[in-house]
Amino acid sequence: MSIALALHVLAVTVWVGGMFFAYMVLRPVAASQLQPPQRLPLWQSVFSRFFPWVWVAIVLILASGYWMLFGPYGGMKNAPIFIHLMHALGLVMMVIFLHVFFAPYKRLTRYVQQSNWQEAGKALNQIRFLVGLNMLIGLITIVIGAAGKYWL
């Protein structure tokens, strides 16, 4: 269980921490200092390096989470409510990421390659909103994971 828990926490830290840094630190600096022809390729490059780590994190989160769920907890039936909440919120986050990856991120990449800054900006705005939403859900999920067994 300790290996699974360590992998789970590390993967969540990479994913949610990466979103926090991108949204709360990099985004406002890039917006204040770079014009669209510099800012939009920067974001496309940032995502192209971050998203493979998100894929790894998702695999590790699912594998380690189910390892703990079906090992020590003996399945969903025996898991406390905070585990069910973490599970549901984690799946919602994964669906949001899948949408980001296969829709607005693909459009952002295409429009940046075409130097179509207006459409690239629209795609980035969609990504920004969804990353902000996912970050919020991720932070709530972390609180549930860390404190849920004490108050749920």
Output the CA–CA distances (angstroms, integers) from residue 82 to 78, 100, 147, in the order listed: 12, 27, 9
pLDDT of residue 26: 98
**Residue 116 token pair:** 């179509």
pLDDT (tens digit per residue) in 53-69: 999 999 999 999 999 99
Output the CA–CA distances (angstroms, integers) from residue 29 to 1, 82, 123, in the order listed: 40, 36, 19
d(CA 68, CA 79): 10
Q: What is the pTM of this model?
A: 0.95
Indicate whether 152 pLDDT > 80.
no
pLDDT (tens digit per residue) in 77-131: 999 999 999 999 999 999 999 999 999 999 999 999 999 999 999 999 999 999 9
